[in-house]
Amino acid sequence: MATRCLHWGPWLKWPRARPPPARNTLTPAFCQRFSTQTTPQICVVGSGPAGFYTAQHLLKHHTRAQVDIYEKQLVPFGLVRFGVAPDHPEVKSYGAEDHQALGIPGEELPGVCSARAFVGWYNGLPENQALAPDLSCDTAVILGQGNVALDVARILLTPPEHLEKTDITEVALGVLRQSQVKTVWIVGRRGPLQVAFTIKELREMIQLPGTRTILDPADFLGLQDRIKEVPRPRKRLTELLHRTATEKLGAEEAARQASAPRAWGLRFFRSPQQVLPSPDGQRAAGIRLALTRLEGVGEATRAVPTGETEDLLCGLVLSSVGYKSRPIDPSVPFDPKLGVIPNTEGRVVGVPGLYCSGWVKRGPTGVIATTMTDSFLTSEVLLQDLKAGLLPFGPKPGYAAIQALLSSRGIRPVSFSDWEKLDAEEVSRGQGARKPREKLVDSQEMLQLLGR
């Protein structure tokens, strides 16, 4: 029997540690009133951080609430599990299901893929296991200058032996061991003051073993006075970039960089215009970049083409220009341009009783703390609507109705206890290699382990 959904209602748990308590406006009297009312049945679709934080807040502030979480994958935790960097388990990323297309000629060529798919491949997301990236080229180009771009570059350039004790998949590790990629360029439309990555990830790239950093000092001319005017986090980040680009290296560091077998660099003021094909037209061989200049000030700064172009040879192009949510169902409103569900403080417009949180609520912005706060706010709005009598309190079958529907379709959901069996198997497989786990990536194998 096919199994296409994961359900775990009363077994709600966070993967490892409890998230910090919520800052909320719910009074003790408010919570006490809830404890005497009929049990509300609440369904959360998606078991990533937004879903977990929403469910946690609901359960904390409504003692009789029954929360059921549904997940399309056979394993829970979304991109907490399938996150950006296996060597950064403490900052696993999260996000939407799709990526922003480049919208340029040649994007469909072999050798071009989204950073999101590449991340899913090395983190064991089943739908990305057929990606099979060809790393036989010398140079890779990543389009976009956010943390995902730096994470992907770091994985491409990190010595494989440094990844062996992480939960990266064995298949991905085997491909990386054979990789010929020596240089990674990270390309952005705007300049050093507009990069989207954070200083921690930048510092780690600068200090990456066996790797030298390439920055053009000309990109930083005239920036020193402007750096003084920006907020402190941006100031520290830009100062580090400026020092790295312009400071004269000591003898020891200069020797280290000169002998480094790999390199990475940032290329600013360039926008992708076309993926260049190989002579036989069978795969990507480079990318044509439009040179840009900045117009406007502050948040309104935008990149406009100068009319000049530059061709950059490479055998791998990874687009990291943003994640994007997909519509869940025709009955749920969706703004395809913004990639969000139209909502007011989490209330879905025109659909009473339906709420949203996370990136599908506000777009693909912010970090894990942003999602936590955002999810708490959505759950508070839901609880306030319950208190105001805007939602029905009458008897609702909850999961019983879904269970009957799944049964009628021949679908057996994976329960949380089923996940615990898969979890134990992954941990067991990882022990031999001294890894935290060896992820299961084949859905059929997972079902067989569960006796399906």
State the pLDDT confidence band at 23, using cuts at 50, 70 and 90: very low
What confidence score (pLDDT) does residue 398 get? 84
Q: What are the Cα distances from residue 384, in Å, to 60, 312, 353, 395, 436?
A: 14, 55, 12, 20, 41
Give per-residue pLDDT as tens, 248-305. Answer: 888 988 888 889 999 999 999 999 999 999 999 999 999 999 999 999 887 678 999 9
Report the C-alpha gap between 129 and 152 in whole angstroms: 16
Give per-residue pLDDT as tens, 326-383. Answer: 888 888 999 988 889 999 999 999 999 999 998 899 887 767 778 889 999 999 999 9
Vertex 163: Cα angle to 158 and 169 (nearest 5): 120
Q: Greater confidence, 341 or 229?
A: 341
Instruction: Give the length of the chain.
Output: 452
What 3-state class would DSSP assign to 304? strand
What confidence score (pLDDT) does residue 8 get? 45
Instruction: For helices 368-387 and 28-35, give the axis angle rounded to 10 degrees.
Output: 60
Q: pTM of the prediction?
A: 0.78
What number is the average pLDDT over the span 39-67?
90
What confidence score (pLDDT) does residue 88 get? 60
Alpha-carbon dihedral 327, 328, 333, 339, rounded to 10 degrees: -30
pLDDT at 63 over 70: yes
What confidence score (pLDDT) does residue 98 get? 52
State the pLDDT confidence band at 89, using cuts at 50, 70 and 90: low
State the pLDDT confidence band at 325, using cuts at 50, 70 and 90: confident
pLDDT at 95 over 60: no
> Letter for the amino acid at 313?
L
